[in-house]
Structure 1
Amino acid sequence: MQKKIYIAILCLLFFTHTAIAQDDKLFNTKSFTLDNGLEVIAIPNTRSPVVTQMVWYKTGAADEPYGQSGVAHYIEHLMFKGSENVAPGELSKTIRDLGGNDNAFTSQDYTAYFQTLSSEYLEKAMRMEADRMKGLKVPEEEAKSELLVVLEERRQRLENDPQALFFAELNAALYPDHPYGIPIIGWKADVENLTLNDALEYFEAHYKPNNARLIVAGDIEPDKLKRLAEKYYGGISRHKVPKRIINRPIDPLITNTTINMQHSRILQPIYARFYRAPNWQENQKESLALTVLQELLDGGSSAPLYQELVAKQKLVASASIRYSSQSLGPTDISFSATPAQNIDAHSVKAAFEAFIAHYSQKDWTEAEIKQAVTRIQDSTAYLRDSVTGPAMIVGQALATGMTLDEIEHYPSLLNQVTPKDVKAVFNKYMSPKSLYVEGFLEPETASLASPEKAAEPTPDKKKGK
Structure 2
Amino acid sequence: MNIYCSALLLLSGLMPMMAFTASASTTHEFSLDNGLKVVVREDHRAPVATSQLWIKVGSSQEPPGQSGLSHALEHMLYQGSSKTCAGEASAILERLGAEENAVTSNDYTAYYQTLAPDHLGVAFELMADLMTTAHLRTESFATEIEVIKQERREHTDDAPQGLAMERLQAIAFPSSAHATPTIGWMHDLQRMSATQLREWYQRWYAPNNATLVIVGDVSLGQIKPLVERYFGDIPRKTLPQVYAPLELAEPGERKIALSQAIHAPQLLMSFNLPSLTTAPDRRTVQALRLLDILLAGSNSARLKKHLQFNEDLFSQISSGYDPFNRGDSLLLLSAQLNSHQRISLDQAQARIWQVIEQLKTTPPDPEELERARTLLIASQVYQQDSISEQATRMGTLESIGLSWRLMEEDIETLNQVSAKDIQQAAVTYLTRQRMSVAHLMPENSHE
Normalised TM-score (structure 1) = 0.87
Residues 235-314 of structure 1 correspond to what in structure 2 (within 5 A)?
235-247=233-245, 249-263=246-260, 265-283=261-279, 284-314=282-312
SS at match of 1:338: strand
Q: CA deviation at 1:139?
A: 3.2
CA distance in 1, matches of 2:31, 2:43: 21
Residue equivalent to 1:62: 60
RCO (CA 8 Å, sep 6+): is it higher in 1 or 2? 1
Q: Which of the residues 64, 79, 94 maps onto 2:77? A: 79
SS, match of residue 152 in structure 1: helix
Kindly state the Cα deviation for residue 434 of structure 1 after the two structures are TM-superposed: 4.6
Distance 1:29 1:367 in 2: 36
Residues in 1 aligned to 2:173 and 2:105: alpha-carbon distance in whole angstroms: 16
Alignment partner of 2:211 out of 213, 222, 237: 213
* Distance in 1 between residues matched to 2:76 and 2:300, nearest whole Å: 47
- Flag the 1:27–1:408 CA change in 2: closer, same or farther, 3 A: farther
Shift in Å at residue 28 of structure 1? 3.6
**Is contact 2:51-2:212 (8 Å) kept?**
yes
Matches of 1:98 and 1:45, distance apart in 2: 21
Deviations 1:154-201 (A, max 9, x none): 111111112211111111111124211111111112111111111010
- Give matches, 1:308-323, under 5 Å: 308-323=306-321
Structure 2: distance between partners of 1:447 and 1:407: 48
SS at structure 2 position matched to 1:385: coil
User: What do the CA deviations read for 1:63-83 (whole angstroms, capped 9, x no partner)?
Assistant: 113321111111001111111
Give the distance between the partners of 1:261 and 1:326, measured in 2 at CA: 29
The aligned amino acid for 2:307 is L
Distance (whole Å) between structure 2 residues aligned to residue 27 and residue 349 of structure 1: 46
Q: CA deviation at 1:446?
A: 6.4
Aligned to 1:409, the other structure's residue is in SS state helix
Tell me the amino acid that sits aligned with residue 371 of structure 1.
R
Alignment CA distance shift 1:69-1:442 (3 Å) = same
For 1:337, the equivalent position in structure 2 comes to 335
Residue of structure 2 in register with 1:427 after alignment? 427
Distance 1:332 1:83, change over 3 A: same
Residue 154 (structure 1) aligns with:
152
Aligned counterparts of 1:310 and 1:421: Cα–Cα separation in 2: 26
**Displacement of 1:33 after TM fit?**
0.6
Q: What's the counterpart of residue 4 of structure 1?
A: none
What is the alpha-carbon distance in structure 2 between the residues aligned to residue 445 and residue 299 of structure 1? 33
* Residue type of the alignment partner of 1:428: T
Structure 2 distance, partners of 1:242, 1:233, is 22
User: Deviations along 1:294-335, whole A, 9 cap, x unmatched?
Assistant: 222334212222110011111001111222211111111111
**What is the distance in 1 between the residues matched to 2:165 and 2:415?**
34
- TM-score for both structures, normalised by structure 2: 0.90
Partner secondary structure for residue 124 of structure 1: helix
| Amino acid in structure 2 at the alignment position of 1:258 | K
Cα distance per residue 1:196-238 (max 9 Å; x no partner): 1110100000000000000111111112111110010011000
Written as runs of structure 1 = structure 2, the 5 A alignment for 1:6-21 is none
Aligned-pair CA distance for 1:374 = 2.0
Residue 128 of structure 1 aligns with which residue? 126
Name the aligned partner's letter for residue 151 of structure 1: K
- What secondary structure, in the 3-state scheme, does the structure 1 residue paired with 2:110 have? strand
Letter in 1 for 2:153: R
Give the aligned residue type for 1:437: S
Q: In structure 2, what is the equivalent of residue 443 of structure 1?
A: 442
Question: Aligned partners of 1:301, 1:189: CA distance in 2, in Å?
Answer: 41
How many Å separate the matches in 1 of 2:283 and 2:380? 21
Change (3 A) 1:304 1:27: farther
What SS does the corresponding residue of 2:361 show, helix, strand or coil?
coil
Any runs of at least 4 consecutive aligned residues in structure 1 with deviations exceeding 4 A, and if so which? Answer: none
One-letter identity of the residue aligned with 1:416: Q
Aligned to 2:18: none
Question: 2 CA distance for matches of 1:414 and 1:53?
Answer: 29
What is the deviation of 1:366? 4.2
Q: Which amino acid aligns with 1:269?
A: P
How far did 1:242 drift?
0.8
1:43/1:218 contact within 8 Å kept: yes
The 1:357–1:304 alpha-carbon spacing in structure 2 relative to 1, beyond 3 Å, is same
Within 2, Cα distance between the matches of 1:308 and 1:27? 42
Q: Distance in 2 between matches of 1:367 and 1:355?
A: 18
In structure 2, relative to structure 1, the CA distance for the partners of 1:349 and 1:409 (3 Å cut) is same
The residue that corresponds to 1:385 in the other structure is 385
Structure-2 separation of matches of 1:424 and 1:177: 26
Residue matched to 1:413: 413
Structure 2 CA distance, aligned partners of 1:278 and 1:447?
A: 36
SS in structure 2 at match of 1:286:
helix
| Cα separation, 2, equivalents of 1:57 and 1:229 | 16
Residue number in structure 1 paired with 2:191: 193
Distance 1:357 1:385, change over 3 A: closer
Question: Which runs of no fewer than 5 residues in structure 1 stay unpaired?
Answer: 1-24, 449-465
* Residues 337, 348 of structure 1: 8 Å contact kept: no
**C-alpha separation in 2, matches of 1:350 and 1:426:** 17
State the distance in 1 between where 2:305 and 2:28 align: 44
Which ranges in structure 2 are unaligned for 5 or more consecutive residues? 1-22
- 439 and 376 in structure 1: CA distance in 2 versus 1, 3 angstrom threshold: same
Relative distance call for 1:203 and 1:442 in structure 2 (3 A) is same
